[in-house]
Each structure stands twice: as structure tokens, then as C-alpha cells.
Structure 1
Amino acid sequence: MKSLFSFLFAVLLTINCAFAKDFYVSPKGSDKNSGTREKPFATIKRAQLAARNTPGKVVIFLRGGTHYLSQTVVFTPEDSRKANGELTIKPYANEKVVVSGGTPLTLKWESYKGKIMKAKVGGDYILDQLFINSHQQRMARYPNYNPAVRFFGGSSADALSPERIASWKNPTGGFIHALHRAEWGGYQYQITGKDGEGKLKMEGGYQNNRQMGMHEKHRFVENIFEELDTVGEWYYNKEEKMLYYYPEPSNTNLAGSKVEIPRLKHLFEFKGSEKTPVKNINIEGLELTHTLRTFMETKEPLLRSDWTIYRGGAVLMEGAESCQVRSCYFNHVGGNAIFLSNYNRNNKVSGCHIAYAGASGVCFVGDPKAVRSPSFEYAQFVPFNEIDTVRGPKTNNYPANCTVENTLMYGLGQVEKQVAGVQISMSMSINAIHNTIYDVPRAGINISEGTWGGHEIAFNDVFNTVLESGDHGAFNSWGRDRYWNADVPVMNKIVKDNPALITADVIKTITLHDNRFHCEHGWDIDLDDGSSNYRIYNNVCLNGGLKLREGFYRTVENNIILNNSFHPHVWFENSGDVFKHNIVTRNYYPIGINFWGKEIDYNFFADKASLEKSQQAGTDQHSTFGNPEFVNPSIGDYSVKSTSKALALGFKNFATDKFGVTSPSLRKIAKKAPIPVLKGIEGVNMSESTEWFGLKVKNLETLGERSATGMPEEIGVLVLGVDANSPFVGVLKPNDVILSFKKKTTNKVAELVAEQQKNKSDKTVEMTIFRSQNTQKINLDKPLK
């Protein structure tokens, strides 16, 4: 019987292989050809049509070169494949294949003014971006771009001053980019002209779901002719069809340069539905580039999060099952790279490289109509007597059981600022695993609300985040679900009387484990505004600490929080929150805490003062303090030695070198996460005291020293003692902190000594010190020699 089964299986396999078919597409081919390697098609569309009528596994091989798409490649249910007969589009052999949503321009350049060149553009094009010799150029803008400036690479309050506006003859078609007033993402506007008083007319400002208006300072303008004044800038006059360009030194030979512009928003679309999905189609190994910017179409609000979105990307999946995007390079796409919209099941993004996208990396966003009692703005709330209390979604029109893994993302948000490497909204059981995400303006990974949970966020390396915004996290979430109300007393009563409503949307636990997070201007892990039903363990927080605001049923165990601590904000009675077996290196930072959750205990503190402060607040009665004895923190190894007292409290070692992408090719090009110098740990890297002009001084660097002096952070030179013969007798006292000397900041003893060596004959020395909770200036009326 077994041999008969084996024979039948072999026959079936042979039959299946007999039906397997390869088609070939070449930029030099013809759609009149047969699609063989010797006679390839010219377009992917022609190969797609041929594949529809071919059973079994089909591979469409793209030959090397740039394949310019005149229209988006759309897969419909007609293209669906059986599980053992998938369709794959990939490069032939190791040839480099670029799929472009743009077109090359043939231009005749001539001098215009100074070093600015101009060229007539034939045809009706949207000149949204300009690439010369594969390098993206910048629209004429004010202020000029400077990569060293934090916001937008340059911003200015006078970008919209009446004087500057008056200097623009015809700004129609220009754009205004501005941060949100509270730095929660950004806004964009298109200039539609000037009114009779010379003021700008504009439309837009809908790109953020927390409307507060644009930032007064952080703003810039682009696509205005009069601002064409530096190398690498360009401007296109639509009426004249004239392109003006200020060449970079490397582009002086414009006659021989390759000039390309985008013309499509999307390159590939999977367009099906729950009833008739697109199945088993893969895109593999392609470079995808030249898509239009979509920031003026980012309009749709995502429930009560701060986001609005544009449902699209270089690759758009809607109504797809078991489809994959593998090992593709998304190079300077104008909007989102990959967008999974509404119904999607078992789709996967893996091994990809997403660099300098205009918006987000990979988005999973469901249908608001699948949400029960949805609200769409921060202060909106469906009255309790009108809330649909049935648990879970109303329909299946959302992404579920989908994965993004082993994908490198950086430089995202080149245009839009309310973006993320991975964005999850109105989805269930999304897996984000072994991704490396860095250099982003806002979150690396964002979950917009609890609907419907079940996500696994694991083994990711997320750093250099929140670079162009504020009040956010490397991992960020909101939990503004049905039960949540911006009025805390109202919400408190609702959840006290109806606790089941808390998890009516987040019906499955969301898990964060074995990640490394680093945030520049916020928290490493930020669970905001009612985020509930989380399990968080085995994470390393490098800089910003971990925050839990409002919310319920969060279990935080076995995490390592470096140079920071735990930030509990506004907790409720019977929250069910647990924080235990964690290593923290600062005291807690509670705000609005009247209740301390289910269990806050068995944690390991870096110093005695922090532990005592927590115990006085009623937590951590079984916790302890000391040196955690990390094995090798200088290289990021935060496992603890067998002699560490943290182990006795229940802390368990976990691997701290398994974060981020796993493929060797991606690891080779990925930036390394910043490894912090540890501060404030008793017995670790503590400086010795120094004798200096009769003073006994040292660097202020422990939490105990900070607590004793009242300093807000571990900086400055701590005075331990004053000798009777010191010139500082009567001027300085023990426990003073020297913050500046001769008007120069002195964060370290070495800086103090260096400043003293300059101009030794000064008769009066001005100093700034911190004493008795206040900063004050004092003078030493004698030279130090």
C-alpha cells in the first residue's frame, strides 16, 4: 500500500512539473513574441495574460534592465493560482531588474541664468519628483535643505512671512510642509494662488487626525520658482512646460545624464475581495522605484488615532490570500512602500529593503465598517447606552494572519511625518518579526488602536526614532477603543461598571518580546491612551524607558531598561497591570497615579535611592538594588552574570544579540543600534574623586548623587568637600554642583579643569552652581593659579 501511494505521488508530481511554464520579459522584447527566453515579451502585462491560461507553477522571469510601466500591473481573481501552482515574478538568474513607475525624459538643456539650466519638456507630465543619474533632486525650497537640521532638513517661521510671499510672482502649485503644532506628525498644503490682499490661498491640512494647526516655526515651502537658488534644486513651470535645474557639481554634463520622473502611484496591485480573493502570487527580487508622492491624498482618518492615511503604496494588496513580496528593494518610492488594505489573509512581506520612502514602510489597515461603534476623532465618543457591546469585529474585511519579517527599513517619512516602519490598524494577528527599522521621523512600529489584537512584535531592532516629532515612542500604541473616553472620570465609571467592554475590541493579547528599542525624543515603548491587553517581556530599552498610560491588563516582565525607567501615567483601580522581574536603572516616573495595579514588585534597581523612593510609594516591597552585573554592556550584551542578585528576584537571561534582520545581505548594510554608556549604576564605571584647588570633586553620575543634590539629571561636577585652605572657602559647599565655570558648561571634571587653564590671570571667575534645588550664579573674586 505504501509503495502504491509513493508511485501515485510521483506520477502526480511529474504531471504537475509537466505543466510548469516559464515566461520571459525584456525591455528589448516584443509583446508579439512567444515569451520564451529567446523571444521574450516586452511587458509584464503581456506575460500576466499568458500566465492566466497556463496551469501549474508559473515563473515570469524579468531580464536585466529597467522596466518602465505605462500602467499599474493589477492582479485580479482571474490571476489567482492554486496552492501548488503559484505565480512568481522575479529576475532571471542574478540580473539586476528595476521596475519603474516613471519614464525617462529626452531633454535639450540650455543656459538660463547664472548656473541654472533649463529644458523644454514634451508631453503632459506631472513633475512631482526629478531623478538625475538615479539620484533624487529637490524641488526649489525655502529654507534650503540642510541634513544637519532636525526638522525637515531646514524649517523657518518666516517661510510664510508677508515679505517672502510678496516676493513670489506666481506661487500656484507650491507646497507648504509643516509640523503639527504639538509635533504630532505633520501637515501639507498646496498653494492655489494669492487673494486680493496678497495672502496665500491654499488647500490641505488634513494629513493629521488631531487638528491643532501648523507649527509656528517648523515649516518650509517648496516648488516655488523664486526659491531656486542652490545646487540640486529644480522647478517646473507647467504653463511653459519648462524645467529649470541648478546642477550639482557631479551633474554638469547634463547632455549625457539620465533624467527620470515618476508617473504612477502604484506599481503592483492585488485587487480581490473576501468572496473572490487573489491567491498565491509572489513578487520577488525586484527593485521598485519612481512612484508619485501621495501626501495630498493622505485624508482618511484611522479611528481616534492621530493618523490619516492614503490607502495605497508601490505595492497594494486588497482582497489577497497567500501572496508574498520577497527580497524586493523599495528605492525612494514617493508614498507608502507596501499597503495591505481591508481583507487580506496569510500574506507575507519578507527579506525586503525599504529605503527613503515618502511615507510608511509596511501598513496593515482594515475597514472602519468592520469596527463596532467606531469614533474618528480624539474627543468623539459614542454614548454608552448606544455602544454595540458585542465583542470583536462586525465583518472580516481586515488584514489577519499576515507577516512582515526580516525586512530592513530606514529613512522613511521623507515627505510625510505621521508614518511608521510598520503601521497596524483595524487588523488581527499581524506578525512583525526580525525587522530592522531606524532613522524615522516618528514610530518604528505603531499600533493605532486595540482592534483586534493578537499581534506578535518580536526580535525587531528599532532605533533612532521620533527624529522629527515628539511625545511618541520607538514602539507606539494607542488604545482609544470603544470603552475609552478623553474625560478620565467618565471612562473610569464606564470600565468600573462594564469591565468586559475593555477587551471588546482588543479581543486577543498583543505580545512584544525580544525586541531592542531606542527613541530619541520620547519613550522606547509607549503604550498611550488606554492601550490594553498587552504582554511585554524580554525587551531591551536603550534610551527612552517604558510608558503605560491609562489602559488595563498589561503584564511587563523580564525587560531591561537602560539609563531610564518605568513611566506609569494615569492608572485606574483594578487595572490588572503587572510590572515585575525587570531591571531598571532609574527611579520610576509616575504621573497621576492613585492606584498601582495588580503587582509592582520583584524588580531590580540600579541604586538604593530609587528603590527606597518606590517602596515609599507602596510598591516593590520585595525588590532590591545594586550592580546588575551585565556580562559585556559595551557591546550590547546585557545578560547578567550568575552572581547577579537580579536572578534571585526572578529575572531570567535572554539573548541580546538576536535582534533585527537575519539575512546576511541585509545585516551587512544595516546600521548598528547605538549602544549607550551606562550611567547611574552603583559600582559601574564610577569616576574617582579629584583634588582641585582644595576642593574634593567628582562627576555627578549616580542616581543616589542626583537624589542627594536634587539635580534633575546626572550632569555637572559634584563638590564632596572644601579644604580649609581652599580659595573656595565661603564660596562653595559640599553637595554643590558646578554647572559652569567662566560661563562655559562643565558637565565633567575634565571640562572644569580645562576651563581653569584658560586665562589664568582672570581676577573674577563667574560660576553657575546648583544648590538647595535652585540654580544660582556666584563669583570667586580672586585668580586661580
Structure 2
Amino acid sequence: MNRFKIVIIILTVLFCPARLLSQTKFFVSAQGKDSNPGTEAKPFGSILRALKEARNQKGKINLYFMGGTYRLDKPVVFTAEDSRPNGSTLTLTSYKKQKVIISSGAVLHLKWVPYKDGIWKASVDQSVQFDELLVNGQLQHMARYPNYDSSAHYLGGTAADVLSPERVARWQSPEGGYIHALHPSQWGDVHYQITGKDSKGELVLEGGWQNNRRMGMSEKYRFVENVFEELDTANEWYYDKKAKTLYYFPPVGLNLQTATFESPQLASLFEFRGTETKSVKNITVSDLIFTQTTRTFMQNKEPLLRSDWTIYRGGATIYEGAVNCSLVNCALVNLGGNAVFFSKYNRSCEISGCQISDVGASGVCFVGDPGAVRSPRFEYNEFVPIAEMDRTPGPKTNNYPKDCSVYNNLMFNLGLLEKQSAGVELSMCQSITVSHNTIYDVPRAGINVSEGTWGGHVIEYNDVFNTVKETGDHGAFNSWGRDRYWHPDKRILDSIVAAYPGLALLDVTRPIILRNNRFRCDHGWDIDLDDGSSNYIIYNNICLNGGIKLREGVNRVVENNIMINNTFHPHVWFKNSNDIFRHNIVGSGYLPIGISVWGKEVDYNVFPDSASLSEARGRGTDMHSVYMPEAFENPAEGDFRLKPNAAAFSVGFKNIAMDSFGVISPGLKALAKKVTYSNIVKPIQAAESETIDFLGAKVKKLTTLGERSATGMDGIRGILVIAVAPGRSQAFFQVNDVIMSLNNRPTNSLKELQEARMSVTGPSAEIIIFRNQHAYTERVNFDDHK
């Protein structure tokens, strides 16, 4: 080799890596100009200008944002043109950790004059929409009834007379107002827009589609907003669209002349818009603050595969068709809808180190395309007949999120308006890792899995508490498994699973793993695997209050978990469920409902006393289990490691690490609220509820949250059928029926049931039975049941 070739090789080795690894920097400032070259001294004036310039560059690109507020009049959209090749990245970040705010809030230029009764008004000459109003960065309330009360249990205050004729008559022009309410069974919420009044003076409403199980609205838990006549207290406002006038009731001490008034204008701020074939690749957004987006509750219409949910495919940041894109160390606060939404095709994306708080709906959502699902059905009662069912396992297409991560994020004060929401929502996606997140103060579940499609999730090291604060019959972790095999009629469902046991695993093709989490729910279960949830591996979790519930499903392995002040709740299992419950510590005896076969194995567990262990053995389980008194190191401080020589070690229990739950970033740790620990109480052996024979069935008063959940009732009421004798009564009643009334008399106690029976003067009477989520009115002939 001659010297010339050697020189060429040396130059190539020395200079090519530097060229390939070179970085290009551009700077953006809210005070900059798009005609500038984008240098630190002369920055661009807009994000769009910086992105346009970056598209013309090779190698790694850094877009640095100078401190300030960047107000958007349209979303920033990333497409395949903004992608970087593998090994390269486009990074948008704050310069030297300066405070950078991305907002759709329009600053209002107002001249206030007194109106009356403490209310001021101002003409609005700008072309802006009014969905929310912030004053000095603080969210205000639309004029509402009842007035907002931060201490109220539901919806910031509710009143049953919201729609009373007397109140509605007070409203001269209520069109544009909203009725917000809980679902009648408190499974979520519904919202209606007032479009006017009819000839009778009654409201005309549009909406109610925000829950996939439409049953109208709660008659008790509801409120109205955006009605002028309800503007009567501090921090309320109303905008008259026709007169273009803003009315506001300022709090004492607010200087209207110097205060900053803002109104959000956009539902989303950053959008990643690609497809599987033209994806948006290798883009990182870090150290930015996203705030002030519009509410989206009236756009929440899309049903999710027989879950209770509908969804709005959007958020402050939206990812669709993104690959290896990240949202890192950002804050997403004061948002009207979802914070982060991964829609349809996404791969290897991550959100980490973020604070998500004070948002109208969910924190982070992963929702695939229903077109990727085989034999999909959407409403709770729909079912594809077996003969017509596609029995191919797994998805039809790749149009869903997969291999993504939600890591080390702090989420709180979520679902401020949309109660059917969660910290992390998973639907029609696969292999999502949810780890080291701290989630609290949410109206419903902290983490929700809407159905089994397509499994593979790893949910670990999360700290989830203060959950299910405004809804009912859920858990800190909540799931459904209403996959293609599932049928709403339990008898039919049992027959399907018995005849076709493999169907239950066609959608949840990979196990879902829950491990090393700390859950607390004071209004439901800590871990709630509801209708049909299958193929779960659950271990090393600390359940601080609500225990673990497994409704019907298959192939669940639950081991080495600790349940403080609660226990195991098996509900209406399949005879061939194949479930395993072992090496767990429970705080009281099991609370089964409708269990005839106890899965594959229920044994080697630890009970608090001999009575609860004996009760379990009396059912045929736990022949190798033990009991022991409290043996935790320091439960008052959350240390639930067992002391040496504890009896639990003899049946295979292993200590769980107590220092790895929740966020790991020092800044997020310092900000996060701490979970509370209740004193451990000694189990009380509950006396068996009184039962009586009624029309050939054994019945009792429905008394527990578990019985409510197992039956699907909207509350703890009615008479529960717990056994049915062979014969004619077996054709009339089914186990798990709830008798709601007899002869037009409510039956919420055994005494009321007996009194209702005595009120029947003829040979028959109408009886209302709740079964499979529906109330049925039938006529019972008492002569047939003598």
C-alpha cells in the first residue's frame, strides 16, 4: 500500500466520525424574529421556523428555547419530514434549564367596569373562544350551580334539583350551558350541552355519550355550569357570546387592572403525525412546560371494546405513527383534557421524568386502532357468535402502540372534569412498561387496562393511592377482559369457557405482569381484575387497604403479595379457571362470591388467625397454609418486611423490598405526596348474614361492596339470591340475581321482602330482578312456588 492511500485512510478515520457525530444548534426566543439566522445572539421567533430550518440539516439537531412563554395559535405538528435517521436525534429543549412555557392561552385585553352585586364586565374585541378562564395562572369556574366546593365528594359539588322546573325557569337563555353528572351506577360520568328550551320550558340536551354503558345520568350527583343566572360568587365567570361580553366575580383583593386573564384556544399543543410506513422518528422533547389546553369532554365519543370507557383521541401532546420518540423531564399542567395520548401505531416511545397534574382527563393513554382487533365488539351487551368469530390469535394489523414506556412520572389531580379517566390507560396495545410512577388523587383507577388486547404489559414499582375518589366499583389498579370470548350473560359465558377454553387467550396473547407495586384504594379494591380479565401474573405487591379481587377469567397467578386490613376476593370463577393463589399474606379470611371450584391451587398462604384458616380449609383450600399474628418490622412507617422466624417463611413467602416504589427523580420525590398507612386491625369474624328461603331460593340482604360488584348493582341495596333449589324456582331465579322490588314495593331488607310478599292479595305479582347488568320485570305466580 503506497503512502498516498495510507494518508487517505487516516484522514477518513479521523474526520468521518466527527462529521457523522456533528451537532447543529438553533435557538428560539419568544422575542426573536423568524428572519434571524437562529443563533444564540439572533434567535428565531417561532418553533415552526426552527423546525423548517432543521429539516435542511443532517446529523443531530438541538433546538434550544430561551426562557419565556410561547403562545400557539395552532398546534406544532411533527411529520416524517422531521424524522432523524437511526443514531441521530432531533431534540427540542430549554436553554440552560430556563423556564419555557408552551401554551395555547390567549391573553385577553380587557377594560373592566362594574356591573352589579360584586360582578364586573368587560367587552371582548378579540376573536377568541371561551372554554376556560385563568386569572394570574389560576383556573376559575364557569358560573355554576351548586357553587364549587373543594371539599365536596363528587364533581366539586352536586345538587339533585339542578333540572327542577323551578330552577330551569330562572334561566332566560341557557343555551351553551352544560349539565355534568355521574353515571347512574357511578362507573364514570356523562356530560350534556344545553341547546335551548322547548315549548314546555324544559331543557333540550345533547350528549350523554361519554360512557360506553349508556344509562342516562345520576339523579343525585350532577351540576350545571355556564348559565348566566348562576353567576353569584367569587371566582365565577360567564361569557355572553352574542354581546361579546365577559362577566366576572373577582375575589377580594384582586386588582382587575393588573391581573392577567387568559383563555385556552387549542385542544393540543404538540402533535406527532405519522403512519407505520411514514413514521416520525427519533425526536426528543425535554424540559418544557405544557399548559392551557381546552376541555374535550364533549368530543369524548369513541367506545372502547365493551369496556365502560369512551375516549377522545387527543391530548396536549399526541403521538400517532411515532418511533423512538420521547417526552422527558417536562411538566404538563392546567390542561383541559388528556395530557399525553399515544394513538394507533407507535413503537419504542417513552415518557419519563414528567409531572402531570391538574388535568381535565387522563395522564397518559395508549389506545390502538379497533381495526387491528379480530371480531371486535364495542357496547357491553354485544357479542360475535362463536360460529362467526375469527379465532386467529393476536392482532390483525400493526396499527397499535407497542414496546413503549411510562417511567418515573409524577401524576396527581387528574380527571378534574372527566371521571372516566386514569393516570395510565391501556387499550388495544401490547408490551407497555409502566414503572416507577407515583399516581394519586384521581377519581377512578390509577392504572386501567380496558381489555386484554394484546397483553405483555409490565406494571412495576409504582406507588398508586388516593384512588376511586369520585366513582364506584373500581380499584387502584383496574382491568377488564371483555375480549372476544366474553359474553355478558354469565351462564352463556360459563358454557363458552367450558366448551372452548382456549378462546380466553386469543387476545391477551402475552401475560400481563403486576409486580413490586404499592397500591391503596379506600373506596374499592387495591387490585381489581374485573369481568373476564385473564393471563395475569401478580406478585410482590403491597396492598394497603382494598385487597385483591379476581372476577371470572383464566390463568391468573397471584403469589407473594401482602394484603393489609383486607383479603382475597374471588368472584364467580369459571370451573376451569386454572387460577393459582399461593404464598400470600391476607389480613382476614377470604371473601368469596359464587365460587364452586377454587381454581388450580389455593394454598401455602398466611392467615391472621386460626379461625380464618379453619374457614378456608372448610371450603377445601389452604391445607398447607399457616396463620400468624402480626410480624411486620415497622408497619406504622410502611415497613412490611417480616421479622426473622415469621411463620410465613415456612410456606414459601419471601420478603418484599420496601424502598423502590414510585418516582426516583429527587425533584419529583420532593414534590410527591406521601401515602398514608392505617393501623393494622385485628380481623373480626363476620357473622354470616341472615338468610331465608324465598320461592325455593336462599336469599339474603345485599350488604357488601363485593356483592355489589359481583352483581353489577349501582349501589348496596336489594336482596341477593345466593342459592337456588332444584325445581321450578331454578328456572325462575339464578344465583347472583338481586330482587329489587316485589308488588311495586322496594326490597332492600329481608323485612321489606317479607312485607312485600304479605302485600300480595292475588295469586301473582310483579317482581323486578337485576341480572347481567339489567333490571327485568316478570310476574311470579305464587301458586307455582308453594
Fold agreement, TM-score > 0.5: yes
1:703 and 2:687 correspond: no
Please identify, of 661-670 and 514-523, the stretch whose mean Cα deviation from structure 2 is larger. 514-523
Superposition deviation, residue 6 in structure 1:
11
Trace 1:357-436 onto structure 2 (pairs within 5 A). Answer: 357-436=359-438
Distance change in 2, residues 1:569/1:708 (3 Å): closer
Superposition deviation, residue 83 in structure 1:
2.2
Given candidates 481, 496, 499, the residue that maps to 1:497 is 499
Distance change in 2, residues 1:399/1:709 (3 Å): closer
CA distance in 2, matches of 1:164, 1:9: 81
Superposition deviation, residue 496 in structure 1:
1.8
CA distance in 2, matches of 1:608, 1:55: 72
Superposition deviation, residue 94 in structure 1:
2.1
Corresponding residue for residue 345 of structure 1: 347
Structure 1 unaligned blocks of 5 or more: 681-701, 715-772, 775-785
Given candidates 36, 41, 44, the residue that maps to 2:44 is 41
CA contact (8 A) 1:607 1:703 kept: no
Given candidates 153, 157, 166, the residue that maps to 1:154 is 157
Corresponding residue for residue 12 of structure 1: 16
1:242 and 2:223 correspond: no
Runs of 4+ in 1 over 2 A off after TM superposition: 4-13, 706-710
CA contact (8 A) 1:628 1:645 kept: no
Given candidates 94, 100, 104, the residue that maps to 1:101 is 104
Trace 1:514-525 onto structure 2 (pairs within 5 A). Answer: 514-525=516-527
Corresponding residue for residue 118 of structure 1: 121
CA contact (8 A) 2:97 2:287 kept: no
CA distance in 2, matches of 1:613, 1:531: 27
Corresponding residue for residue 595 of structure 2: 593
1:616 and 2:618 correspond: yes
- Secondary structure at the aligned position of 2:443 is classed as coil
CA contact (8 A) 2:497 2:574 kept: no
Corresponding residue for residue 216 of structure 1: 219
1:143 and 2:146 correspond: yes
Q: Can you list the C-alpha shifts for 1:625-662, whole angstroms capped at 9, x where unaligned?
A: 12241011011010101110001110000102211000
Paired letter, 1:318: E
Please identify, of 83-92 and 542-551, the stretch whose mean Cα deviation from structure 2 is larger. 83-92
Corresponding residue for residue 318 of structure 1: 320
Superposition deviation, residue 709 in structure 1:
12
Paired letter, 1:629: A
Given candidates 25, 28, 31, the residue that maps to 1:25 is 28
Q: Can you list the C-alpha shifts for 1:320-368, whole angstroms capped at 9, x where unaligned?
A: 0000001111111110000000000000000000011100000000000
CA distance in 2, matches of 1:250, 1:346: 50
Q: Can you list the C-alpha shifts for 1:654-711, whole angstroms capped at 9, x where unaligned?
A: 102211000000000100011111101xxxxxxxxxxxxxxxxxxxxx425x55999x
1:183 and 2:186 correspond: yes
Given candidates 244, 248, 266, the residue that maps to 1:264 is 266
CA distance in 1, matches of 2:17, 2:464: 44
CA contact (8 A) 1:420 1:446 kept: yes
Superposition deviation, residue 103 in structure 1:
1.1
- Secondary structure at the aligned position of 2:257 is classed as helix
- Secondary structure at the aligned position of 2:466 is classed as strand
Q: Can you list the C-alpha shifts for 1:729-774, whole angstroms capped at 9, x where unaligned?
A: xxxxxxxxxxxxxxxxxxxxxxxxxxxxxxxxxxxxxxxxxxxx99
Corresponding residue for residue 453 of structure 1: 455
Corresponding residue for residue 207 of structure 2: 204
Q: Can you list the C-alpha shifts for 1:37-89, whole angstroms capped at 9, x where unaligned?
A: 11111110100100001111111111111110111000011111112221111
- Secondary structure at the aligned position of 1:356 is classed as strand
Given candidates 595, 604, 609, the residue that maps to 1:602 is 604
Distance change in 2, residues 1:708/1:495 (3 Å): closer
CA distance in 2, matches of 1:258, 1:58: 36
CA distance in 2, matches of 1:214, 1:708: 35
CA contact (8 A) 1:527 1:549 kept: yes
CA contact (8 A) 1:609 1:707 kept: no
Distance change in 2, residues 1:677/1:12 (3 Å): farther
Corresponding residue for residue 768 of structure 2: none
CA distance in 2, matches of 1:81, 1:38: 26
Corresponding residue for residue 534 of structure 2: 532
Corresponding residue for residue 746 of structure 1: none
Corresponding residue for residue 298 of structure 1: 300
CA distance in 2, matches of 1:638, 1:11: 58
Superposition deviation, residue 567 in structure 1:
0.3
Q: Can you list the C-alpha shifts for 1:191-233, whole angstroms capped at 9, x where unaligned?
A: 0000010000110000000111100100000001010011110
- Secondary structure at the aligned position of 2:493 is classed as helix
Q: Can you list the C-alpha shifts for 1:102-147, whole angstroms capped at 9, x where unaligned?
A: 2111111111112111111112221000011111111110001111
Q: Can you list the C-alpha shifts for 1:380-421, whole angstroms capped at 9, x where unaligned?
A: 100000000000000000000001010000110011010000
Paired letter, 2:237: W
Distance change in 2, residues 1:486/1:58 (3 Å): same
- Secondary structure at the aligned position of 1:249 is classed as coil
Given candidates 284, 288, 308, the residue that maps to 1:286 is 288
Corresponding residue for residue 581 of structure 1: 583
CA distance in 1, matches of 2:369, 2:333: 29
Percent identical: 55
Distance change in 2, residues 1:5/1:564 (3 Å): farther
What is the aligned length? 689
CA distance in 2, matches of 1:7, 1:553: 61
CA contact (8 A) 2:483 2:507 kept: yes
CA distance in 1, matches of 2:45, 2:118: 40
What is the root-mean-square deviation in Å for CA atoms of aligned residues? 1.9
1:676 and 2:657 correspond: no
Q: Can you list the C-alpha shifts for 1:592-648, whole angstroms capped at 9, x where unaligned?
A: 111100000010011121111111111111111122410110110101011100011
1:51 and 2:54 correspond: yes
- Secondary structure at the aligned position of 1:609 is classed as helix
Given candidates 446, 464, 473, the residue that maps to 1:471 is 473
Q: Can you list the C-alpha shifts for 1:132-172, whole angstroms capped at 9, x where unaligned?
A: 11111111100011111100110010111110000001000
Structure 2 unaligned blocks of 5 or more: 1-7, 691-701, 705-749, 752-786
Paired letter, 1:360: S
Q: Can you list the C-alpha shifts for 1:422-448, whole angstroms capped at 9, x where unaligned?
A: 000000000100000000000000000
- Secondary structure at the aligned position of 2:423 is classed as strand
CA distance in 2, matches of 1:488, 1:352: 42
CA distance in 2, matches of 1:481, 1:670: 36
CA contact (8 A) 1:557 1:582 kept: yes
Distance change in 2, residues 1:130/1:574 (3 Å): same
1:85 and 2:88 correspond: yes
CA contact (8 A) 1:52 1:79 kept: yes
